[in-house]
Amino acid sequence: MAASGPVADGPAALAEGRWEEARAAFEAALARGEAETGQACFGLALALWWLGENHACVDRYSRVAAERAGAAQVTGVDLNEAMLTVARRVRADIDWRHGDAAALPLADRSFDAVLCQMALMFFPDPIGALREMARVAAPAGTVAVLVPAGLGAQPAYGPFVDMAARQAGPQARSLLDTYFNCGDLDELTRLFGRAGLRVTGNQTHGGTARFGSVDAFVTTEVESTPLRERISAGVYHRIKQGAREVLAPFTAADGTLAAPFQVHVVRARPSPDDVRETPGPFGTQD
């Protein structure tokens, strides 16, 4: 059965990656009072989407949901209590839970949208985590995962990591490329399949990571990993010098850095083998 009507348009738009339309449909449904828990476009939206002050999706949904108490629920999960403490302070209206992506503390089939941003590459067992996302997604629900594209597609980060590896050896590469190691789209799509998810689409988006200076970029990238403790002051100095050279094309006259940053968003549904008899809150979408 094809989805129709403004409430049903929300999840369809989400599934097809039309974020603005999805959000508009959701907010319109809320404004009309048509969206209630379990029925709204994002009635039970799981956001594996932490902190994210700058992430409009969850912020907008949670804000609108909060304005109409009980109309929708957003849940965020993180393994790190310190992150949750900050997250609760920033967004008290989101249901923050401590938990591991490998064993989500959430019921089966209970979320219309399961979103995971900038985190899959840190999970020791990404397939297991994707299986968990499939488990908690409603039969007609959407699982959407955002990861940085591979280093080969990163014109600033790629040459920076190559340069750091020349200065500090293979350990620099293995520590600095963690962010990018789920970035092969074909491999990522295969992971979804192995986790029982049917990929419905993907998009690659280009953005920009901005820093006050190249040194600030190097500090962020190196000191957020154990690399700094493993290299001498001299090697660190040479990495900073090398960064000024390789990042020159992205450095403005005032010294600020605008590093291009590519991400992939993959969208999926529970695979046909996993389709359940009971329709989801919006009926069958396909």
Residues at the interface with ligand SAM (CB under 6 A): 49-52, 78-80, 83, 100-102, 117-119, 122-123
DSSP code string of 96-140: EEE-BTTB-SS-TT-EEEEEEES-GGG-S-HHHHHHHHHHHEEEE
The nearest distance, CB 132 to ligand SAM, in angstroms, is 9
Q: Which is nearer to ligand SAM, 120 or 246 (CB)?
A: 120
- CB of 1 closer than 8 Å to CB of 284: yes
Residue 151 beta carbon to ligand SAM: minimum distance, rounded to whole angstroms: 17
Q: Decide whether 57 or 72 has the Cβ nearer to ligand SAM.
A: 57
- Dihedral angle, C-alpha 92, 93, 95, 99, nearest 10 °: -40
Least separation in angstroms between residue 211's CB and ligand SAM is: 16
What is the nearest approach in angstroms of ligand SAM to the Cβ of residue 92? 18
Compare residues 166 and 205 and give the one whose CB is closer to ligand SAM. Answer: 205
* Residue 27 C-alpha from the chain's centroid: 22
List all residues 6 or more positions away from 96 whose beta carbon is below 8 Å from its beta carbon: 75, 76, 77, 78, 84, 87, 88
Least Å from the CB of residue 162 to ligand SAM: 22
Residue 54: how many other CB atoms lie within 10 Å: 6
**Which of residues 131 and 238 has its CB atom nearest to ligand SAM in the complex?**
131
Rg of the chain taking only CA atoms, in angstroms: 20
CA proximity to 257, closest of 220, 203, 228, 283:
220
Give the residue with the Cβ less far from ligand SAM, 224 or 241. Answer: 224
3-state SS string for 211-246:
ECCHHHHHHHHHHCCCHHHHCCHHHHHHHHHHHHHH
The least CB distance from residue 5 to ligand SAM, in Å, is 32
> In the complex with ligand SAM, which residue's Cβ is closer, 93 or 125?
125
